[in-house]
Amino acid sequence: MKISKVLSLALASLSVFSITALTGSAYNSNQGGEPLSDGTFGYELRDGSYTVISCNMDSIIEEIPELRNGYAITAIDDKAFANCTNIKTLKIPDTVTSIGSSAFAGCTSLTEVELPQKIKTLSDGIFMGCTNLEKIDIPDSVNKIESYAFYNCSLLKDVVLPGELSAIEPMAFSECSSIENIDASKCSSYVFEDGLLLNSSRTNIARASVKLTGDVYIPDSVTTIDAGAFSVCAGIENLFIPPSVTHIGDDAFGYCVGLKSIDFSEGLQTISAVAFKSCTSLQTLDFPTTLKEIGDGAFFNCPALTRAVIPEGTQTIGEGAFVNCQSLMQVSIPQSITAVGANAFGFNINEDGSYSLMDDFSLSVFSKSAGADYAKDSKVDYSYVDKNLKSTAFIVIAVGLILAAAVFAVVLMSRSRKSVPLSSKKAAKLEKEKKAEENYEKIIDND
């Protein structure tokens, strides 16, 4: 299974970034725009002000300066402080108006940061993987929190949204395993009620409190559960999704380890990549007939899963959709399926990243179908379900013919006591047998 976009972005941002060490004494770079270093930070002159482009990873830093060589410091570059694990607290001056993507990603010792008061955007992955970040005061000037901004900030507990905020992008607070309360009282674009952060129209769930437990009912107004919305909500046991919901985003319920059952309603169309990854207590899945797509790794590592009923009408099943589902031993793939991704069923992932075929796993597939192609290509045991359906249909028709004949005989007997000639009885019997045989041949030959 190729790594989904969700996992690849996360892994890329949390990996060791390549940052060029800049050495030498500080010098004015007004001419030529060449970078400089003061031993702690690397700078680059851009449009008459300095951008911090790197940090000495061995330095213990608490504050970024406002000026350097007479020029204001107005920006922090992409990944400038990535993986600087010695930073515990940090004050960023108000001269800074722009902070780049993944600027502080992987700063695992960072517990608190003071952001500048004129910044407009918390960029993509800005604090991704800051696993000790406990407190963040988001300035009132911020109007957008981009994807992965606080991904895997596992100690972040409370968040206050600024009044100017108009957009929280998917995965912004994904896998924040301690997040309990989001204060949206100043923000007209979002509301926080019953443990759910929703947009003001209440059509999208952006994030849920990890304090949710037991039965959780999604409000009837919701149409989309955003990526990462319920990730690491370990206390949820039974989930009820209304007919209004059409889309479940990437990693929406990842690591909901207490989740046992999901009540899907008719109306749901897509379950995105890794939407229910590592829901280790999930036992059964009965998908609605409206479902069209099951994404890559959607139910990756759900070891307690014993049943997954995929209805006719479903069209695509992504790569590794049911990898590491060790208790799922048999699945029927409907004829409507047009594509089944690699390792979607019947495989486990080994420690070295290779795949191994599960013992005793089997598929029921239709002949000349995408399911049959997958089974053959993957060397998964399979049987043709359409042959069984034909046999069942023949039995039903045969029984119907017998019952019809019995009723017809009763009617004839009630109308007349005259005996029917033996030759007529034999002719009628032969005619019934001939019709039954013809019906059987039609059923068997009808692909």
pLDDT attached to residue 1: 41
CA distance 163 to 190: 10
pLDDT attached to residue 434: 56
Percent of the chain with pLDDT over 70: 79
CA distance 38 to 22: 9
Q: Quote the mean pLDDT of the chain.
A: 85
Which pLDDT tens digit goes with each residue over 107-131?
A: 999 999 999 999 999 999 999 999 9
Question: Is 351's pLDDT higher than 50?
Answer: yes
- Beta bridge mates, 377: none
Beta strand 362-365 pairing with 381-384: parallel
Question: Is 278's pLDDT higher than 90?
Answer: yes
For the chain, domain boundaries: 1-193, 386-445
Question: Is 88's pLDDT higher than 90?
Answer: yes
CB 250 within 8 A of CB 225: no
Which SS3 state, helix, strand or coil, does residue 1 take? Answer: coil
Work out the angle at residue 87's Cα, subtended by the Cα atoms of residues 85 and 93, and round it to the nearest 5 degrees: 140
CA distance 255 to 244: 24
CA distance 179 to 154: 8
Which pLDDT tens digit goes with each residue over 140-174?
A: 999 999 999 999 999 999 999 999 999 999 999 99
- Position with higher pLDDT, 174 vs 424: 174
Residue 65 class from Cβ within 10 Å (0-12 exposed, 13-18 middle, 19+ buried)?
A: middle
pLDDT attached to residue 191: 98
Q: 1-193 maps to which CATH number? A: 3.80.10.10
The b/e string for 171-181 (b: 16+ C-beta within 10 A; e otherwise) is: bbbbbbbebee
Which pLDDT tens digit goes with each residue over 428-439?
A: 445 644 554 454
- pLDDT tier at 10, thresholds 50, 70, 90: very low
* Structure tokens that stand for 409 in this block: 């005989």
Residue 435 sits at φ, ψ, to 5 deg, of: -65, -40
Which pLDDT tens digit goes with each residue over 215-255?
A: 999 999 999 999 999 999 999 999 999 999 999 999 999 99
